[in-house]
Chain A
Amino acid sequence: MNPVLRTEGLRKAFGGIVVSDNVNLSIASGEILGLIGPNGAGKTSLFNLISGVLRPDGGSIFLNGERIDSTPLYKRARMGIARTWQNMLLFRTMTVLDNLLVGPRDYPGESVMRLAFGRGALRAAEAAMRNRAMGILGRMGLEQTANSLVVDLPFGQQKLIGLARTLMNDGPLLLLDEPMAGVEGAAYETMQRVVRQEAESGRAVCVVEHNVSFIRDLCSRAVFMANGKILQDGSVEELIASDILTELYFGV
């Protein structure tokens, strides 16, 4: 079966620092891939390359067989690459619901023309999006926060909202950048559950995480990166058992 995402020989360097060194990665539909490694290994850079924030120096990226390494960031999102951010990057002056409503791949309110000439269709589309947004919030048990400003919510809920906003993009690929960092308790459970649901519905999911138990609970496969290179690619158990990795990750 063809992978949803495939990178081939991906390379990127900043000045003298190599953040991606001939990276070959593939993620299949329904798979939850864990991406682990020490800080500075190039994990977030890899996400940035895949989602389009960075342009690679060399190599190629394929989404469902289509080559995307020169496609601009916003187009890749519309093609179905959805990602979260380490710093969440929620829209601070807006409510939870409004944050989500900007999320869908095709946002009808983006065109001024439609504002002027398609009011009826616009209203219908808005209503549909609103339902979807409330549905996603419902899955997380956060419907009551819909009209609160995001900055008024506790940290754990903010992280969930960040994920909710990303989920408004119903595309085939989901990239989660340290979703669990600083999250515990009920929010942690909710996040695990939601991510598992997404994979079960057919999405290809890749998670960057330092939280080893999260990786062990959720991921079937994991990839270990250090210094921009993929050092090992296999099942989670194999990776965790590997000596070299333990030394690199926890060593010195």
Chain B
Amino acid sequence: MDYLVTIAVLIAIYTILASSYNLVIGYGGLSTVAHPIFFAIGAYTTGLLAVHVPFIPPVGNVVLGMAAAVVASVLLAGSALRVSGDYLLIASLGFQLGLLQLLKNLEFTGGPGGLSAIPSTIVGPMRGPLFLAICGAAALACVFAVRTIVNGPYGRAISAMRDEELAFTALGRNAMSMKIAIFAIGCGMAGGAGGLYAYYFQYLSPDQFDVLASAAILTMVVLGGMGTAFGPVVGAILLLAIPQAITFLQLPPAIMAPTQGIIFTVLVLLFLYLRPSGILGGKA
């Protein structure tokens, strides 16, 4: 039972990650692979504050985690977009890896061993279900926030920017600040998810946030459908459900991990070739 609750919490957290990532790459059209690092910034900020600054309430720490993620994302996007949109891709990769190295090597963040003993917030038998309720609510809020942003006038602007950025700018729209705003919102949400993650699992390690985590989030978004509001939810569920299903096959661990990897990568490749719009995506 506990185990199922944990899976559900993970689905909720992954939904926030996939949804916010979808906002950035699916709707905003920004090429970036740095999403897990903002997840990490949120998680580590929240965790470190919880450990070292006990008088801030947990909600405050999560919000500060989000704020840290937003600041970092504005710095990254602000510098990279000045060169070109394509450059953001590589810059985000570099940022992701560099910050990861920093996390692995600083004593302050616990080094490769990770940050543990993050204080409990909720105790007792209802911990699981309560956390699930909180994370679930956050996930729902996130999905609907993204939906609200992309419908209506702001969404219209985003579409126009993606269709013809030059004409868009020549109409008087500040494309640069829109891109930075979208990036900041998406990364801020990822930071918030990080805070929730830190409090639930009470332990963080750099390996949880590496490039393969990028690939996992990418997979969720591609499979579910980029540029659709509910696609990432579908992707998140799939990404967590499929490995669970494979576990039942009782394969030895040395075979299981690469097999899972193969199934996912093949799925993504198939979708990229045959149905790039994903499961929920409409137009091809």
Asked whether any CB of chain B lies closer than 8 Å to the CB of A51, the reply is yes
Task: Judge whether B181 and A102 touch: CB under 8 Å.
Answer: no
Task: Judge whether B172 and A106 touch: CB under 8 Å.
Answer: yes
Asked whether any CB of chain A lies closer than 8 Å to the CB of B171, the reply is yes
- Per-residue interface assignment for chain B, residues 219 to 260, with 1 indicating a CB less than 8 Å from any chain A CB and 0 otherwise: 000000000000000000000000000000000000000000
Contacts of B166 in A (CB 8 A): 53, 89
Q: Which residue of A lies closest to B155 (CB)?
A: A109
Task: Judge whether B171 and A51 touch: CB under 8 Å.
Answer: no
Task: Judge whether A83 and B163 touch: CB under 8 Å.
Answer: no
| A102-B164 contact, Cβ under 8 Å, with A110-B154, A115-B148 | no
| A91-B159 contact, Cβ under 8 Å, with A53-B166, A53-B170 | yes
Contacts of B181 in A (CB 8 A): 112
Task: Judge whether B164 and A169 touch: CB under 8 Å.
Answer: no
Asked whether any CB of chain B lies closer than 8 Å to the CB of A11, the reply is no
Asked whether any CB of chain B lies closer than 8 Å to the CB of A101, the reply is yes
Q: CB within 8 Å of A: which of B160-205?
A: 160, 162-164, 166-175, 178, 181, 185
Contacts of A75 in B (CB 8 A): 172
With beta carbons under 8 angstroms apart, the residue of B148, B152, B164 that contacts A91 is B164
| A122-B153 contact, Cβ under 8 Å, with A94-B163, A112-B185 | yes
- Per-residue interface assignment for chain A, residues 97 to 109, with 1 indicating a CB less than 8 Å from any chain B CB and 0 otherwise: 0110111111111
Distance between B151 CB and nearest chain A CB, rounded to angstroms = 10
Distance between A105 CB and nearest chain B CB, rounded to angstroms = 5
Q: How far is the CA of A90 from the CA of B153 in the complex (A)?
A: 17
Asked whether any CB of chain B lies closer than 8 Å to the CB of A78, the reply is yes
Asked whether any CB of chain A lies closer than 8 Å to the CB of B157, the reply is yes
Distance between A72 CB and nearest chain B CB, rounded to angstroms = 8
Contacts of A126 in B (CB 8 A): 153
Residue of B153, B166, B168, B178 most packed against chain A (CB within 10 A): B153
Task: Judge whether A91 and B154 touch: CB under 8 Å.
Answer: no
Asked whether any CB of chain B lies closer than 8 Å to the CB of A155, the reply is no
With beta carbons under 8 angstroms apart, the residue of B153, B168, B169, B175 that contacts A109 is B153
Asked whether any CB of chain A lies closer than 8 Å to the CB of B5, the reply is no
Asked whether any CB of chain B lies closer than 8 Å to the CB of A229, the reply is no
Task: Judge whether B173 and A89 touch: CB under 8 Å.
Answer: no
Q: How far is the CA of A91 from the CA of B157 in the complex (A)?
A: 10
- Per-residue interface assignment for chain A, residues 162 to 201, with 1 indicating a CB less than 8 Å from any chain B CB and 0 otherwise: 0001001100000000000000000000000000000000
Task: Judge whether A103 and B171 touch: CB under 8 Å.
Answer: yes
Task: Judge whether A91 and B167 touch: CB under 8 Å.
Answer: yes
Q: How far is the CA of A62 from the CA of B102 in the complex (A)?
A: 51
Asked whether any CB of chain A lies closer than 8 Å to the CB of B93, the reply is no
Contacts of A165 in B (CB 8 A): 171
- Per-residue interface assignment for chain B, residues 54 to 72, with 1 indicating a CB less than 8 Å from any chain A CB and 0 otherwise: 0000000000000000000
Q: How far is the CA of A141 from the CA of B279 in the complex (A)?
A: 41
Asked whether any CB of chain A lies closer than 8 Å to the CB of B80, the reply is no
Contacts of A94 in B (CB 8 A): 156, 159-160, 163
Task: Judge whether A83 and B152 touch: CB under 8 Å.
Answer: no
Task: Judge whether B156 and A115 touch: CB under 8 Å.
Answer: no
Distance between B276 CB and nearest chain A CB, rounded to angstroms = 15
| A109-B163 contact, Cβ under 8 Å, with A74-B175, A77-B171, A78-B172 | no
Contacts of B215 in A (CB 8 A): none
Q: Which residue of B lies closest to A175 (CB)?
A: B170
Q: Which residue of B lies closest to A77 (CB)?
A: B172
Q: How far is the CA of A99 from the CA of B171 in the complex (A)?
A: 11
Contacts of B157 in A (CB 8 A): 102, 107, 109-110
Q: How far is the CA of A83 from the CA of B172 in the complex (A)?
A: 11
Task: Judge whether B153 and A169 touch: CB under 8 Å.
Answer: no
Asked whether any CB of chain B lies closer than 8 Å to the CB of A92, the reply is yes
Contacts of B154 in A (CB 8 A): 109-110, 112, 115
| A93-B172 contact, Cβ under 8 Å, with A109-B153, A110-B154, A122-B153 | no
Asked whether any CB of chain A lies closer than 8 Å to the CB of B97, the reply is no
| A110-B167 contact, Cβ under 8 Å, with A94-B156, A94-B160, A101-B156 | no
Q: How far is the CA of A93 from the CA of B282 in the complex (A)?
A: 13
Asked whether any CB of chain A lies closer than 8 Å to the CB of B149, the reply is yes
Task: Judge whether B173 and A93 touch: CB under 8 Å.
Answer: no
Q: Which residue of B lies closest to A52 (CB)?
A: B170
> Known contacts A93-B163, A99-B160; can you find 8 more A-B pairs with CB under 8 A?
A74-B175, A77-B170, A85-B170, A91-B167, A106-B172, A107-B173, A109-B156, A112-B181
The 10 nearest A-B residue pairs measured at CB: A109-B153, A77-B172, A89-B167, A91-B163, A78-B172, A89-B164, A102-B160, A91-B160, A74-B169, A105-B172
| Residues of A that sit less than 8 Å from B by CB | 51-53, 73-75, 77-78, 83, 85, 89-94, 98-99, 101-110, 112, 115, 122, 126, 165, 168-169
Q: Can you list 15 A-B pairs with a CB-CB distance of less than 8 A?
A: A74-B170, A74-B173, A77-B172, A89-B167, A90-B164, A91-B160, A93-B159, A93-B163, A102-B160, A106-B172, A109-B153, A109-B157, A110-B154, A110-B157, A115-B152
